[in-house]
Structure 1
Amino acid sequence: MQVRPHVVATDLDGTLLRPDKSLSARTAAALDAFHARGGQVLLVTGRPVRWLPAVYAQLREPVPAVCANGAVVYDPQTDTVLRADPLAPEIMAEVARRLRAEVPDVVFAVEVDDGRSMRHTADWPSHWNSEHPSALLVTDPAELLTSPAVKLLVRSSYTDDPDVFVRIVAGALAGLAEATHSSKSGLVEISAAGVTKAAGLAWLCARLGVTADDVVAFGDMPNDVPMLTWAGRAVAVANAHPAVREIADAVTASNADDGVAVYLEGLLAEAERATPEAS
């Protein structure tokens, strides 16, 4: 008997992965057991495609992924982008104009080439990924906005509170694009209008022939809210942002305590009890 729901759609950082970015043996075993009962696992992440290999190396086999907060749907088996919905250069130029008027010291970076590379200027705060070979330094800020980007990244010294900053950014954009956040560092992530984790996941599920009722989704941050609202069953990890916990149907253990595995083990136990004994 196939386990219900049929699809697990899970965020990565802060949800499926432990704080050190590792996938625990317990979680890997739970995903394998879910797959063995006929279930499908999908990754739904703010990460770009270029950050997925470290996760795939810890899975039994690569699984489809919705990346860049819904802007990219990726098939790792063929290394193919099935769908991309980037911000157009003219939209990014208007976003930049509005944000510079609202927050004068705002700085930008972009995820381009369907999320296979990043571009940033010298004033972009240095983080571990800024030194990666796929992160390209450009000297002219205008050059950041000349190619379609699956995600526009925004930082400012105005505030290090991402909840405050995302409200400022979203207010300035006023429907021009989507603004959300998935970290606690003050970074705001901007996508094309209508692009969310929910939209990307809905497209992929339609391709797979499943509906929202077939999906249990796991998340921890505000960028997960659209996906959790869309899915038939929404589960927050215990370390989730208050906005996520508020809309979740259930709360499991934290990512440090293998919350996704804990919940899946319960689903699998239910499926086992529901399986008629062989006569």
Structure 2
Amino acid sequence: MAEFPRGRKPEENRRFRLVATDIDGTLINSERLLSRLTIDTLAAVPVPVVLVTGRPLRWLEQLYDQLPAPLPAVCLNGAVVYDPHTDEVLRTEPLTCELLIDVVGRLRDAVPDISLAVEVDDGRAFRHEATWPRLWVDHRVEVISSPDELTSVPAVKLLVRSATADPDDFLELVSKALGGVAEATRSSSSALVEISAAGVTKAAGLAWLCERDGIDASDVVAFGDMPNDIPMLTWAGHGVAMGNAHEAVRAVADATTASNEDDGVAVYLRKAFNL
């Protein structure tokens, strides 16, 4: 069951002019599927819905195949804003080659036991070191032959993985090593940290899209479950944590809803919009 903030009735949330939602751990279940209730609810919501995700562009296909029509997306934790109707990248904020060289140097000096990878070509291609676990076969995924290939072109995300560290401790360690020159966050249950250019967050990408469309932060309801969602949930007028959310996300949210396995986004939206 959805939980609304103390003293606020669900009907009052009908002022929302835009719905922003994370994908993994939020909109889809553990099998990466949208429920029929969620599909029907997204179609019935009377305001725009935007996907705000850590996923790269090439991973949107799996979700778009389940929807009657694709939704606009803020990808790669805010580094890319994408219009699926025109297949156009509206905005991109990559890490420059110079910044990548600096960040990779800091990480190799300060953090042991790491493997590195980069999202390039606006998230349409992926390069990784040989030590990176190969979990799928995809022609857009390439094993680098030289460490210099990690920093040879701008990247919309740098990923750093540890095989042994605690996920929260690893994020803290990486953040300390960066010293503020870039953004570090995580969305995985493993020790995988995602690095973007300074100031690039889900909140920043969504704010750019909303400003373009004349929508104020106070008019946005946002859903998320992991630390990379925290900037978005605190920026939005109403941030909702999933029932399965990381404790840090629940701590900053205005409300909570059911888990992603129990259609938490759909449950909340149906009450908020009287669907």
Q: Per the shorter chain, which TM-score range? A: over 0.9
1:253 matches 2:264 = no
Per the alignment, residue 77 of structure 1 pairs with 85
Distance apart, 1:3 and its partner CA: 4.2
Per the alignment, residue 155 of structure 1 pairs with 161
Per the alignment, residue 140 of structure 2 pairs with 134
Q: Secondary structure at the match of 2:133?
A: coil
Q: Secondary structure at the match of 1:15?
A: coil
1:66 matches 2:74 = yes
Per the alignment, residue 265 of structure 1 pairs with 270
Q: Secondary structure at the match of 2:33?
A: coil
AA in 2 matched with 1:116: R
Per the alignment, residue 188 of structure 1 pairs with 193
Conserved in 2, the CA contact under 8 Å of 1:8 and 1:216? yes
AA in 2 matched with 1:149: A
Per the alignment, residue 277 of structure 1 pairs with none
Q: How many residues align?
A: 263
Per the alignment, residue 122 of structure 1 pairs with 130
TM-score by length of 2: 0.93
Write out per-residue CA displacement over residues 9-38 of structure 1, whole angstroms, 9 at most, x where no aligned residue: 00000000111100110001111110xx3x
Q: What is the aligned counterpart of 1:221 among 223, 226, 230? A: 226
CA distance in 1, matches of 2:255, 2:113: 40
Matches within 5 A, 1:21-32: 21-32=32-43
Conserved in 2, the CA contact under 8 Å of 1:4 and 1:267? no
1:17 matches 2:23 = no
Conserved in 1, the CA contact under 8 Å of 2:51 and 2:71? yes
Q: Which has the higher contact order (CA 8 A, sep 6+)?
A: 2
CA distance in 2, matches of 1:141, 1:214: 45
User: After TM superposition, where is structure 1 displaced by more than 4 Å over at least 4 residues in a row?
Assistant: none
1:242 matches 2:253 = no
Per the alignment, residue 145 of structure 1 pairs with 151
Distance apart, 1:6 and its partner CA: 1.3
CA RMSD of aligned residues (A): 1.2
Conserved in 2, the CA contact under 8 Å of 1:103 and 1:158? no
Conserved in 2, the CA contact under 8 Å of 1:9 and 1:215? yes
AA in 2 matched with 1:232: G
- Structure 2 stretches lacking a partner, 5+ long: 1-12
Write out per-residue CA displacement over residues 101-133 of structure 1, whole angstroms, 9 at most, x where no aligned residue: 1123322100000000000121112223xx211
Q: Tell which deviates more after alignment, 100-109 or 110-119.
A: 100-109
AA in 1 matched with 2:215: V
Q: Tell which deviates more after alignment, 118-127 or 193-202.
A: 118-127
**Percent identity (aligned):** 60
